[in-house]
Amino acid sequence: MQRRVVLGCDGAAGAAVGRLAEWPGELTVVAPDGVSVGADRPDVTYERAAPDDTAAYPDRADLVFVAGDDDATNAAAAAAARDAYPDAYLAVYVGPDADPAVASRVAAVADRVIDADRILVDRVTELTTDPGAARVHRLHTTLRRIEGRLAVVMHDNPDPDAIASALGLVRVAERAGVSADACYFGNISHQENRAMVNLLDIDLVALDDAETVAEYGGVALVDHSRPGINDGLPEDTTVDIVVDHHPPRAPVEAHFVDLRHDIGATSTLVSDYLIRTGIDPGTPLATALLFGVRVDTDDFTREVSVADFEAAAWLVLHADLPTLERIESPSMTPEVIETLSLAIGNRDVRGDALVSNVGSIRDRDALAQAADRLLNMEGIRITVVYGYKDGTIYVSGRARGTDVDLGETLRDALGTIGSAGGHADMAGAQVSLGILGDADDDSEAALTEVVTDVVAGRLFETLEDATTLLGADDRDSGWAFEFPFEEWDR
Protein backbone atom coordinates (compact mmCIF):
# COMPACT_ATOMS: atom_id res chain seq x y z
CA MET A 1 0.00 0.00 0.00
CA GLN A 2 1.40 3.36 -1.01
CA ARG A 3 1.92 5.94 1.74
CA ARG A 4 1.84 9.64 0.82
CA VAL A 5 2.72 12.67 2.94
CA VAL A 6 1.86 16.34 2.32
CA LEU A 7 4.01 18.87 4.20
CA GLY A 8 2.32 22.26 4.44
CA CYS A 9 -1.23 22.56 3.22
CA ASP A 10 -1.71 26.03 1.86
CA GLY A 11 -1.15 27.17 -1.70
CA ALA A 12 -0.83 24.37 -4.25
CA ALA A 13 -0.92 21.60 -1.64
CA GLY A 14 -4.37 22.58 -0.45
CA ALA A 15 -5.83 21.82 -3.86
CA ALA A 16 -3.78 18.62 -4.16
CA VAL A 17 -4.94 16.95 -0.95
CA GLY A 18 -8.34 16.06 -2.34
CA ARG A 19 -6.83 14.48 -5.45
CA LEU A 20 -4.16 12.58 -3.52
CA ALA A 21 -6.78 11.22 -1.14
CA GLU A 22 -8.58 9.58 -4.06
CA TRP A 23 -5.59 7.35 -4.83
CA PRO A 24 -5.36 3.91 -3.20
CA GLY A 25 -3.21 3.92 -0.06
CA GLU A 26 -2.77 6.23 2.93
CA LEU A 27 -2.35 10.00 3.12
CA THR A 28 -0.95 12.11 6.00
CA VAL A 29 -1.03 15.92 6.04
CA VAL A 30 1.42 17.77 8.30
CA ALA A 31 0.56 21.47 8.73
CA PRO A 32 0.96 23.98 11.57
CA ASP A 33 -1.88 25.49 13.56
CA GLY A 34 -3.55 28.34 11.75
CA VAL A 35 -3.06 26.84 8.30
CA SER A 36 -6.29 25.75 6.63
CA VAL A 37 -6.31 22.16 5.48
CA GLY A 38 -9.73 22.38 3.84
CA ALA A 39 -12.61 20.13 4.79
CA ASP A 40 -11.58 17.27 7.04
CA ARG A 41 -11.69 13.94 5.24
CA PRO A 42 -12.09 10.65 7.13
CA ASP A 43 -9.58 9.00 4.79
CA VAL A 44 -6.79 11.51 5.62
CA THR A 45 -4.62 11.66 8.77
CA TYR A 46 -3.93 15.24 9.95
CA GLU A 47 -0.96 16.20 12.13
CA ARG A 48 -0.69 19.75 13.51
CA ALA A 49 3.03 20.53 13.43
CA ALA A 50 5.65 22.46 11.49
CA PRO A 51 6.35 20.93 8.06
CA ASP A 52 9.99 20.22 9.06
CA ASP A 53 9.05 18.58 12.39
CA THR A 54 10.06 14.99 11.73
CA ALA A 55 8.47 13.86 15.00
CA ALA A 56 5.07 14.36 13.32
CA TYR A 57 6.00 12.33 10.26
CA PRO A 58 4.64 8.81 9.78
CA ASP A 59 7.12 5.93 9.90
CA ARG A 60 7.15 5.41 6.14
CA ALA A 61 6.44 7.38 2.96
CA ASP A 62 6.64 6.57 -0.74
CA LEU A 63 5.70 10.05 -1.98
CA VAL A 64 6.24 13.39 -0.24
CA PHE A 65 4.75 16.63 -1.54
CA VAL A 66 6.02 19.90 -0.01
CA ALA A 67 3.94 22.90 -1.04
CA GLY A 68 3.52 25.63 1.53
CA ASP A 69 3.40 29.33 0.68
CA ASP A 70 6.79 30.15 2.23
CA ASP A 71 9.79 29.05 0.12
CA ALA A 72 12.26 28.97 3.04
CA THR A 73 9.88 26.76 5.04
CA ASN A 74 9.50 24.49 2.04
CA ALA A 75 13.27 24.19 1.68
CA ALA A 76 13.62 23.22 5.35
CA ALA A 77 10.77 20.71 5.07
CA ALA A 78 12.29 19.24 1.90
CA ALA A 79 15.65 18.71 3.63
CA ALA A 80 13.94 17.11 6.65
CA ALA A 81 11.82 14.87 4.43
CA ARG A 82 14.85 13.73 2.46
CA ASP A 83 16.62 12.73 5.68
CA ALA A 84 13.53 10.96 7.01
CA TYR A 85 12.65 9.21 3.76
CA PRO A 86 15.80 8.76 1.65
CA ASP A 87 14.03 6.47 -0.84
CA ALA A 88 10.77 8.43 -1.22
CA TYR A 89 9.85 10.47 -4.31
CA LEU A 90 10.08 14.11 -3.20
CA ALA A 91 8.22 16.92 -5.04
CA VAL A 92 8.68 20.47 -3.78
CA TYR A 93 6.85 23.66 -4.77
CA VAL A 94 8.85 26.87 -5.32
CA GLY A 95 7.07 30.21 -5.67
CA PRO A 96 7.57 32.68 -8.53
CA ASP A 97 9.72 35.06 -6.42
CA ALA A 98 11.87 32.47 -4.66
CA ASP A 99 15.38 33.47 -3.61
CA PRO A 100 17.90 31.73 -5.92
CA ALA A 101 19.77 30.33 -2.93
CA VAL A 102 16.57 28.83 -1.51
CA ALA A 103 15.64 27.38 -4.90
CA SER A 104 19.12 25.85 -5.14
CA ARG A 105 18.70 24.16 -1.73
CA VAL A 106 15.40 22.69 -2.85
CA ALA A 107 16.84 21.43 -6.14
CA ALA A 108 19.64 19.66 -4.26
CA VAL A 109 17.23 17.31 -2.43
CA ALA A 110 14.04 17.17 -4.54
CA ASP A 111 13.27 14.66 -7.26
CA ARG A 112 11.09 17.29 -8.88
CA VAL A 113 10.93 21.04 -8.34
CA ILE A 114 7.50 22.47 -9.12
CA ASP A 115 8.34 25.94 -10.38
CA ALA A 116 5.42 28.39 -10.41
CA ASP A 117 6.89 30.33 -13.33
CA ARG A 118 7.41 27.14 -15.29
CA ILE A 119 3.85 26.03 -14.56
CA LEU A 120 2.53 29.30 -15.98
CA VAL A 121 4.72 29.06 -19.07
CA ASP A 122 3.78 25.42 -19.62
CA ARG A 123 0.09 26.24 -19.27
CA VAL A 124 0.27 29.05 -21.81
CA THR A 125 2.24 26.80 -24.15
CA GLU A 126 -0.35 24.06 -23.73
CA LEU A 127 -3.20 26.42 -24.57
CA THR A 128 -1.45 27.60 -27.72
CA THR A 129 -0.03 24.29 -28.99
CA ASP A 130 -2.17 21.46 -27.57
CA PRO A 131 -5.29 20.89 -29.72
CA GLY A 132 -7.14 19.39 -26.75
CA ALA A 133 -6.52 22.39 -24.50
CA ALA A 134 -7.43 24.81 -27.29
CA ARG A 135 -10.62 22.81 -27.93
CA VAL A 136 -11.73 23.04 -24.31
CA HIS A 137 -10.93 26.76 -24.29
CA ARG A 138 -13.20 27.27 -27.33
CA LEU A 139 -15.93 25.21 -25.67
CA HIS A 140 -15.82 27.38 -22.54
CA THR A 141 -15.81 30.52 -24.66
CA THR A 142 -18.94 29.31 -26.45
CA LEU A 143 -20.63 28.39 -23.18
CA ARG A 144 -19.98 31.81 -21.66
CA ARG A 145 -21.71 33.48 -24.63
CA ILE A 146 -24.97 31.66 -23.95
CA GLU A 147 -27.58 33.80 -22.26
CA GLY A 148 -30.01 31.70 -20.29
CA ARG A 149 -30.31 27.97 -19.69
CA LEU A 150 -28.69 25.44 -22.06
CA ALA A 151 -30.60 22.45 -23.44
CA VAL A 152 -28.20 19.54 -23.99
CA VAL A 153 -30.22 17.42 -26.41
CA MET A 154 -29.58 13.71 -26.98
CA HIS A 155 -30.91 11.77 -29.95
CA ASP A 156 -34.35 10.17 -29.63
CA ASN A 157 -34.63 7.17 -27.30
CA PRO A 158 -31.09 7.84 -26.05
CA ASP A 159 -28.54 5.10 -25.43
CA PRO A 160 -25.98 5.05 -22.56
CA ASP A 161 -23.37 6.99 -24.55
CA ALA A 162 -25.82 9.79 -25.33
CA ILE A 163 -27.16 9.94 -21.77
CA ALA A 164 -23.72 9.98 -20.15
CA SER A 165 -22.37 12.52 -22.64
CA ALA A 166 -25.27 14.87 -21.99
CA LEU A 167 -24.79 14.63 -18.22
CA GLY A 168 -21.06 15.30 -18.59
CA LEU A 169 -21.60 18.33 -20.82
CA VAL A 170 -24.11 19.68 -18.30
CA ARG A 171 -21.37 19.47 -15.66
CA VAL A 172 -18.90 21.30 -17.91
CA ALA A 173 -21.50 24.01 -18.62
CA GLU A 174 -22.15 24.48 -14.91
CA ARG A 175 -18.41 24.94 -14.31
CA ALA A 176 -18.54 27.74 -16.91
CA GLY A 177 -21.41 29.36 -15.03
CA VAL A 178 -24.19 28.18 -17.37
CA SER A 179 -27.20 26.28 -16.04
CA ALA A 180 -28.10 23.31 -18.24
CA ASP A 181 -30.47 20.34 -18.60
CA ALA A 182 -29.88 16.94 -20.19
CA CYS A 183 -32.87 16.62 -22.56
CA TYR A 184 -34.33 14.01 -24.88
CA PHE A 185 -37.34 13.24 -27.04
CA GLY A 186 -38.96 9.81 -27.18
CA ASN A 187 -38.61 7.08 -24.58
CA ILE A 188 -35.95 5.20 -22.66
CA SER A 189 -37.15 1.64 -23.05
CA HIS A 190 -34.03 -0.54 -23.39
CA GLN A 191 -33.61 -2.45 -20.11
CA GLU A 192 -29.96 -1.52 -19.66
CA ASN A 193 -30.71 2.13 -20.37
CA ARG A 194 -33.57 2.20 -17.86
CA ALA A 195 -31.42 0.42 -15.29
CA MET A 196 -28.67 2.98 -15.78
CA VAL A 197 -31.06 5.92 -15.23
CA ASN A 198 -32.76 4.33 -12.22
CA LEU A 199 -29.75 2.88 -10.39
CA LEU A 200 -27.67 6.03 -10.81
CA ASP A 201 -30.66 8.28 -10.01
CA ILE A 202 -30.04 10.31 -13.16
CA ASP A 203 -32.06 13.48 -13.66
CA LEU A 204 -33.17 13.95 -17.28
CA VAL A 205 -35.71 16.25 -18.92
CA ALA A 206 -38.16 14.55 -21.30
CA LEU A 207 -39.21 17.00 -24.02
CA ASP A 208 -42.72 16.89 -25.42
CA ASP A 209 -42.33 19.22 -28.39
CA ALA A 210 -39.99 21.70 -30.01
CA GLU A 211 -41.71 24.64 -28.32
CA THR A 212 -40.28 23.49 -25.00
CA VAL A 213 -36.73 23.88 -26.36
CA ALA A 214 -37.54 27.42 -27.51
CA GLU A 215 -37.60 28.42 -23.85
CA TYR A 216 -33.86 27.72 -23.55
CA GLY A 217 -31.12 30.24 -24.24
CA GLY A 218 -28.95 27.74 -26.14
CA VAL A 219 -28.91 24.24 -27.64
CA ALA A 220 -26.18 21.59 -27.61
CA LEU A 221 -26.33 18.25 -29.43
CA VAL A 222 -24.53 15.18 -28.10
CA ASP A 223 -24.02 11.82 -29.83
CA HIS A 224 -25.61 13.19 -33.01
CA SER A 225 -24.81 16.27 -35.03
CA ARG A 226 -27.81 17.72 -36.86
CA PRO A 227 -31.13 19.02 -35.50
CA GLY A 228 -34.23 17.30 -36.80
CA ILE A 229 -32.36 14.05 -37.57
CA ASN A 230 -33.73 11.58 -35.02
CA ASP A 231 -34.58 14.24 -32.51
CA GLY A 232 -37.68 16.38 -32.08
CA LEU A 233 -35.99 19.66 -32.97
CA PRO A 234 -36.92 21.64 -36.08
CA GLU A 235 -34.24 21.24 -38.75
CA ASP A 236 -33.60 25.00 -38.74
CA THR A 237 -32.81 25.09 -35.00
CA THR A 238 -29.78 27.24 -34.20
CA VAL A 239 -27.24 24.99 -32.49
CA ASP A 240 -24.49 26.34 -30.25
CA ILE A 241 -22.53 23.14 -29.51
CA VAL A 242 -22.13 19.76 -31.23
CA VAL A 243 -20.17 16.90 -29.65
CA ASP A 244 -20.24 13.58 -31.51
CA HIS A 245 -18.05 10.68 -32.57
CA HIS A 246 -20.05 9.62 -35.62
CA PRO A 247 -18.95 10.74 -39.10
CA PRO A 248 -21.44 13.34 -40.37
CA ARG A 249 -23.31 12.75 -43.61
CA ALA A 250 -23.81 16.45 -44.25
CA PRO A 251 -22.21 19.75 -43.16
CA VAL A 252 -22.58 20.44 -39.42
CA GLU A 253 -23.26 24.00 -38.32
CA ALA A 254 -22.69 25.22 -34.77
CA HIS A 255 -20.58 27.76 -32.89
CA PHE A 256 -18.53 24.92 -31.39
CA VAL A 257 -18.15 21.60 -33.20
CA ASP A 258 -16.18 18.59 -31.91
CA LEU A 259 -16.57 15.68 -34.34
CA ARG A 260 -13.94 12.97 -33.94
CA HIS A 261 -14.96 9.78 -35.72
CA ASP A 262 -11.68 8.08 -34.80
CA ILE A 263 -12.88 7.95 -31.18
CA GLY A 264 -15.07 5.07 -30.04
CA ALA A 265 -17.58 6.97 -27.89
CA THR A 266 -18.87 10.47 -27.31
CA SER A 267 -18.44 9.76 -23.58
CA THR A 268 -14.69 9.70 -24.23
CA LEU A 269 -14.79 13.21 -25.68
CA VAL A 270 -16.76 14.55 -22.73
CA SER A 271 -14.46 12.78 -20.25
CA ASP A 272 -11.57 14.64 -21.87
CA TYR A 273 -13.36 17.94 -21.20
CA LEU A 274 -13.82 16.99 -17.55
CA ILE A 275 -10.17 16.00 -17.14
CA ARG A 276 -8.83 19.14 -18.79
CA THR A 277 -11.20 21.37 -16.84
CA GLY A 278 -10.23 19.72 -13.55
CA ILE A 279 -13.79 18.58 -12.75
CA ASP A 280 -14.30 15.73 -10.30
CA PRO A 281 -17.05 13.69 -12.03
CA GLY A 282 -18.38 12.08 -8.87
CA THR A 283 -19.50 8.45 -8.74
CA PRO A 284 -22.81 8.53 -10.68
CA LEU A 285 -21.44 10.51 -13.64
CA ALA A 286 -18.20 8.51 -13.79
CA THR A 287 -20.18 5.25 -13.74
CA ALA A 288 -22.46 6.50 -16.53
CA LEU A 289 -19.56 7.67 -18.70
CA LEU A 290 -17.67 4.41 -18.19
CA PHE A 291 -20.77 2.49 -19.23
CA GLY A 292 -21.14 4.76 -22.28
CA VAL A 293 -17.58 4.04 -23.37
CA ARG A 294 -17.94 0.30 -22.82
CA VAL A 295 -21.24 0.05 -24.70
CA ASP A 296 -20.21 2.03 -27.76
CA THR A 297 -16.87 0.21 -28.06
CA ASP A 298 -18.46 -3.16 -27.29
CA ASP A 299 -16.19 -3.57 -24.27
CA PHE A 300 -13.19 -2.15 -26.15
CA THR A 301 -13.45 -4.50 -29.14
CA ARG A 302 -15.07 -2.20 -31.72
CA GLU A 303 -13.60 1.00 -33.22
CA VAL A 304 -11.70 1.59 -29.98
CA SER A 305 -8.92 4.19 -29.68
CA VAL A 306 -6.16 4.96 -27.20
CA ALA A 307 -8.28 7.86 -25.96
CA ASP A 308 -11.09 5.44 -25.05
CA PHE A 309 -8.72 3.37 -22.89
CA GLU A 310 -7.32 6.51 -21.26
CA ALA A 311 -10.79 7.83 -20.47
CA ALA A 312 -11.83 4.48 -19.01
CA ALA A 313 -8.68 4.31 -16.87
CA TRP A 314 -9.57 7.70 -15.37
CA LEU A 315 -13.26 6.94 -14.96
CA VAL A 316 -12.73 3.59 -13.24
CA LEU A 317 -11.05 5.43 -10.32
CA HIS A 318 -14.36 7.21 -9.64
CA ALA A 319 -16.98 4.71 -10.84
CA ASP A 320 -19.14 2.34 -8.81
CA LEU A 321 -18.23 -0.98 -10.41
CA PRO A 322 -20.75 -3.16 -8.49
CA THR A 323 -23.56 -0.85 -9.64
CA LEU A 324 -22.20 -0.95 -13.18
CA GLU A 325 -22.41 -4.73 -13.07
CA ARG A 326 -26.07 -4.48 -12.02
CA ILE A 327 -26.76 -2.09 -14.90
CA GLU A 328 -25.23 -4.50 -17.39
CA SER A 329 -27.33 -7.46 -16.20
CA PRO A 330 -30.97 -6.28 -16.18
CA SER A 331 -33.93 -8.60 -16.53
CA MET A 332 -35.36 -9.18 -20.02
CA THR A 333 -38.85 -7.78 -20.60
CA PRO A 334 -41.65 -9.85 -22.12
CA GLU A 335 -41.58 -7.57 -25.19
CA VAL A 336 -37.93 -8.45 -25.85
CA ILE A 337 -38.56 -12.18 -25.42
CA GLU A 338 -41.53 -12.00 -27.78
CA THR A 339 -39.56 -10.04 -30.39
CA LEU A 340 -36.62 -12.44 -30.15
CA SER A 341 -38.96 -15.41 -30.60
CA LEU A 342 -40.52 -13.83 -33.70
CA ALA A 343 -37.10 -12.93 -35.11
CA ILE A 344 -35.96 -16.53 -34.77
CA GLY A 345 -39.13 -17.92 -36.32
CA ASN A 346 -39.22 -15.44 -39.22
CA ARG A 347 -35.51 -15.46 -40.04
CA ASP A 348 -34.30 -15.42 -43.63
CA VAL A 349 -30.70 -16.66 -43.76
CA ARG A 350 -28.55 -16.26 -46.88
CA GLY A 351 -24.90 -17.09 -46.45
CA ASP A 352 -23.83 -15.62 -43.10
CA ALA A 353 -26.48 -12.85 -43.12
CA LEU A 354 -29.73 -13.20 -41.17
CA VAL A 355 -32.63 -10.82 -41.83
CA SER A 356 -35.95 -11.07 -39.97
CA ASN A 357 -39.25 -9.17 -39.97
CA VAL A 358 -41.04 -9.31 -36.59
CA GLY A 359 -44.10 -7.36 -37.78
CA SER A 360 -45.88 -4.90 -35.52
CA ILE A 361 -43.84 -3.96 -32.44
CA ARG A 362 -44.48 -2.21 -29.12
CA ASP A 363 -40.85 -1.63 -28.12
CA ARG A 364 -38.40 -0.55 -30.85
CA ASP A 365 -35.42 -1.17 -28.55
CA ALA A 366 -36.36 -4.85 -28.58
CA LEU A 367 -35.19 -4.96 -32.21
CA ALA A 368 -31.62 -4.07 -31.22
CA GLN A 369 -31.60 -6.62 -28.43
CA ALA A 370 -32.90 -9.33 -30.76
CA ALA A 371 -30.20 -8.44 -33.31
CA ASP A 372 -27.58 -8.69 -30.56
CA ARG A 373 -28.77 -12.12 -29.47
CA LEU A 374 -29.08 -13.56 -32.98
CA LEU A 375 -25.50 -12.60 -33.75
CA ASN A 376 -24.49 -15.49 -31.47
CA MET A 377 -26.02 -18.07 -33.82
CA GLU A 378 -23.49 -20.40 -35.41
CA GLY A 379 -22.43 -19.33 -38.90
CA ILE A 380 -24.05 -15.87 -38.62
CA ARG A 381 -21.96 -12.73 -38.93
CA ILE A 382 -24.69 -10.22 -39.73
CA THR A 383 -28.16 -9.82 -38.23
CA VAL A 384 -30.85 -7.35 -39.28
CA VAL A 385 -34.16 -7.29 -37.41
CA TYR A 386 -36.97 -4.93 -38.36
CA GLY A 387 -40.60 -4.21 -37.54
CA TYR A 388 -43.08 -1.37 -37.74
CA LYS A 389 -44.80 0.94 -35.29
CA ASP A 390 -46.83 4.16 -35.60
CA GLY A 391 -46.43 4.36 -39.38
CA THR A 392 -42.65 3.78 -39.39
CA ILE A 393 -40.48 0.76 -40.16
CA TYR A 394 -37.60 0.50 -37.69
CA VAL A 395 -34.48 -1.46 -38.64
CA SER A 396 -31.66 -2.54 -36.33
CA GLY A 397 -28.56 -4.46 -37.36
CA ARG A 398 -25.40 -5.93 -35.93
CA ALA A 399 -22.30 -7.43 -37.54
CA ARG A 400 -19.12 -9.20 -36.50
CA GLY A 401 -16.01 -9.79 -38.62
CA THR A 402 -17.46 -8.62 -41.93
CA ASP A 403 -15.79 -7.34 -45.07
CA VAL A 404 -18.44 -4.98 -46.45
CA ASP A 405 -19.19 -1.55 -44.98
CA LEU A 406 -22.74 -2.16 -43.85
CA GLY A 407 -23.35 1.49 -43.06
CA GLU A 408 -22.88 2.32 -46.73
CA THR A 409 -24.77 -0.81 -47.76
CA LEU A 410 -27.72 0.17 -45.61
CA ARG A 411 -27.69 3.69 -47.00
CA ASP A 412 -27.65 2.30 -50.53
CA ALA A 413 -30.53 -0.07 -49.76
CA LEU A 414 -32.84 2.18 -47.75
CA GLY A 415 -31.40 5.68 -47.84
CA THR A 416 -33.49 6.73 -50.83
CA ILE A 417 -36.73 5.84 -49.03
CA GLY A 418 -35.74 6.67 -45.43
CA SER A 419 -32.84 7.45 -43.09
CA ALA A 420 -30.04 4.90 -42.71
CA GLY A 421 -26.35 4.46 -42.00
CA GLY A 422 -23.90 4.12 -39.11
CA HIS A 423 -20.73 2.34 -38.00
CA ALA A 424 -19.08 -0.86 -39.17
CA ASP A 425 -20.98 -3.23 -36.89
CA MET A 426 -23.90 -1.47 -35.23
CA ALA A 427 -26.65 0.66 -36.77
CA GLY A 428 -30.15 0.92 -38.10
CA ALA A 429 -32.65 2.77 -40.23
CA GLN A 430 -36.13 4.27 -40.29
CA VAL A 431 -38.49 4.14 -43.24
CA SER A 432 -41.98 5.63 -43.38
CA LEU A 433 -44.74 3.18 -44.19
CA GLY A 434 -46.49 5.86 -46.25
CA ILE A 435 -49.90 4.78 -47.42
CA LEU A 436 -49.21 1.29 -46.08
CA GLY A 437 -49.54 2.75 -42.61
CA ASP A 438 -53.28 3.30 -43.27
CA ALA A 439 -53.94 -0.40 -43.76
CA ASP A 440 -56.67 -2.00 -41.65
CA ASP A 441 -55.85 -4.44 -38.87
CA ASP A 442 -57.33 -7.22 -40.99
CA SER A 443 -54.63 -6.66 -43.58
CA GLU A 444 -51.66 -6.84 -41.20
CA ALA A 445 -50.46 -10.09 -42.76
CA ALA A 446 -50.45 -8.45 -46.17
CA LEU A 447 -48.72 -5.37 -44.74
CA THR A 448 -46.04 -7.55 -43.16
CA GLU A 449 -45.48 -9.29 -46.49
CA VAL A 450 -45.12 -5.96 -48.33
CA VAL A 451 -42.69 -4.66 -45.70
CA THR A 452 -40.62 -7.82 -46.05
CA ASP A 453 -40.51 -7.48 -49.82
CA VAL A 454 -39.37 -3.85 -49.56
CA VAL A 455 -36.80 -4.12 -46.75
CA ALA A 456 -35.38 -7.62 -47.18
CA GLY A 457 -35.53 -7.38 -50.95
CA ARG A 458 -33.54 -4.15 -51.04
CA LEU A 459 -31.08 -5.36 -48.39
CA PHE A 460 -30.20 -8.63 -50.06
CA GLU A 461 -30.06 -7.07 -53.51
CA THR A 462 -27.71 -4.33 -52.31
CA LEU A 463 -25.67 -6.86 -50.36
CA GLU A 464 -25.26 -9.07 -53.40
CA ASP A 465 -24.03 -6.11 -55.42
CA ALA A 466 -21.57 -5.19 -52.64
CA THR A 467 -20.18 -8.70 -52.29
CA THR A 468 -19.79 -8.97 -56.07
CA LEU A 469 -17.31 -6.10 -55.87
CA LEU A 470 -15.25 -7.97 -53.26
CA GLY A 471 -14.22 -10.76 -55.63
CA ALA A 472 -14.72 -14.51 -55.71
CA ASP A 473 -12.52 -15.29 -52.71
CA ASP A 474 -14.60 -13.05 -50.46
CA ARG A 475 -17.89 -14.33 -51.86
CA ASP A 476 -16.92 -17.92 -51.14
CA SER A 477 -16.73 -17.10 -47.46
CA GLY A 478 -20.37 -15.92 -47.42
CA TRP A 479 -22.12 -12.59 -47.48
CA ALA A 480 -21.05 -10.04 -44.94
CA PHE A 481 -22.38 -6.60 -44.28
CA GLU A 482 -22.34 -4.20 -41.39
CA PHE A 483 -25.22 -2.22 -40.02
CA PRO A 484 -24.42 1.03 -38.24
CA PHE A 485 -26.13 4.34 -37.62
CA GLU A 486 -25.37 6.89 -34.96
CA GLU A 487 -28.95 7.51 -33.92
CA TRP A 488 -30.05 3.89 -33.76
CA ASP A 489 -27.06 2.21 -32.12
CA ARG A 490 -29.14 0.64 -29.40
Are 176 and 293 spatial neighbours (Cβ–Cβ below 8 Å)? no
At residue 376 the predicted structure's pLDDT band, cuts being 50, 70 and 90, is: confident
Mean pLDDT of 253-279: 94
Higher pLDDT, 180 or 331: 180
HSE, CB side, 13 Å, CA atoms: give it for residue 395.
36
Is pLDDT above 70 for 485?
no
- Residue where one domain finishes, among candidates 118, 143, 159: 118
Least confident of 42-46, 151-155, 264-268, 482-486: 482-486
Residues 482 and 258: their CA atoms lie apart, in Å, by 25
Q: How many domains does the chain divide into?
A: 3
376 and 419, same structural domain?
A: yes
Residues 143 and 136: their CA atoms lie apart, in Å, by 10
Q: Which of 200, 180, 179 is closest to 290 using CA atoms?
A: 200
At residue 46, what are phi and psi to the nearest 5 degrees? -110, 130
Residues 234 and 239: their CA atoms lie apart, in Å, by 11
214 and 94, same structural domain?
A: no
Residue 52 to residues 97, 108, 139, 172, 203: CA-CA distances in angstroms?
A: 21, 16, 44, 40, 48
112-115, strands of its sheet edge to edge? 44-48, 26-31, 3-7, 63-66, 89-94, 112-115
- Residue where one domain finishes, among candidates 118, 144, 169: 118
Mean pLDDT of 382-388: 91
192 and 63, same structural domain?
A: no
108 and 237, same structural domain?
A: no
Is pLDDT above 90 for 132?
no
Are 318 and 168 spatial neighbours (Cβ–Cβ below 8 Å)? no
CA 450 to chain centre: 39
Q: Which of 146-150, 333-337, 417-421 has the highest average model confidence (pLDDT)? A: 146-150
Residue 306 confidence (pLDDT): 95
pLDDT in tens, 404-425: 677 777 788 888 888 887 766 7
Residue 124 lies in a domain: no
Residue 356 lies in a domain: yes
The CATH number given to whatever domain includes residue 434 is 3.10.310.40
Least confident of 64-78, 84-98, 125-139, 155-169: 125-139
pLDDT in tens, 195-225: 899 999 999 999 988 778 888 999 999 999 9
Residue 126 lies in a domain: no
- Residue where one domain finishes, among candidates 328, 345, 371: 328
Give the β-pairing of 63-66 and 218-222: unpaired
pLDDT in tens, 225-257: 999 888 889 999 999 999 999 888 788 999 999
108 and 185, same structural domain?
A: no
Higher pLDDT, 442 or 460: 460
At residue 309 the predicted structure's pLDDT band, cuts being 50, 70 and 90, is: very high
Rg value, the chain, Cα = 28
- Tallying the residues shown for the chain, one arrives at 490
Q: Which of 285, 446, 429 is closest to 360 using CA atoms?
A: 446
74 and 201, same structural domain?
A: no
Residue 379 to residues 188, 386, 400, 456, 477: CA-CA distances in angstroms?
A: 32, 20, 11, 19, 11
The CATH number given to whatever domain includes residue 209 is 3.90.1640.10
Residue 231 lies in a domain: yes
Eight-state DSSP code of residue 363:
-
* Model pTM score: 0.59
339 and 323, same structural domain?
A: no
Task: Report the b/e string of 254-288 with b at 16+ CB within 10 A.
Answer: bbbbbbbeebbbbbbbbbbbbbbeebebeebbbbb
Are 29 and 39 spatial neighbours (Cβ–Cβ below 8 Å)? no
340 and 322, same structural domain?
A: no
Residue 473 confidence (pLDDT): 44
Residue 125 lies in a domain: no
Higher pLDDT, 436 or 235: 235
Residue 383 lies in a domain: yes
At residue 387 the predicted structure's pLDDT band, cuts being 50, 70 and 90, is: very high
In 45-159, which residue ranges form alpha helices assigned H by DSSP?
71-84, 100-109, 116-129, 131-144
Task: List all residues 6 or more positions away from 133 whose beta carbon is below 8 Å from its beta carbon.
Answer: 126, 127, 276
177 and 147, same structural domain?
A: yes
Is pLDDT above 60 for 315?
yes
219 and 174, same structural domain?
A: yes
Residue 112 to residues 92, 94, 99, 279, 329: CA-CA distances in angstroms?
A: 6, 10, 18, 25, 46
- Structural domain boundaries, residue 262: 133-328
283 and 173, same structural domain?
A: yes
Residue 128 lies in a domain: no
Mean pLDDT of 421-440: 71
Is pLDDT above 80 for 439?
no
Segment (H or E) for 4: strand 3-7
- Rounded to 10 deg, the angle between the 71-84 and 100-109 helix axes is 20
193 and 153, same structural domain?
A: yes
Beta strand residue intervals within 208-279, DSSP E: 218-222, 241-244, 256-259
Residues 388 and 316: their CA atoms lie apart, in Å, by 39
Residue 166 lies in a domain: yes
The CATH number given to whatever domain includes residue 48 is 3.40.50.720
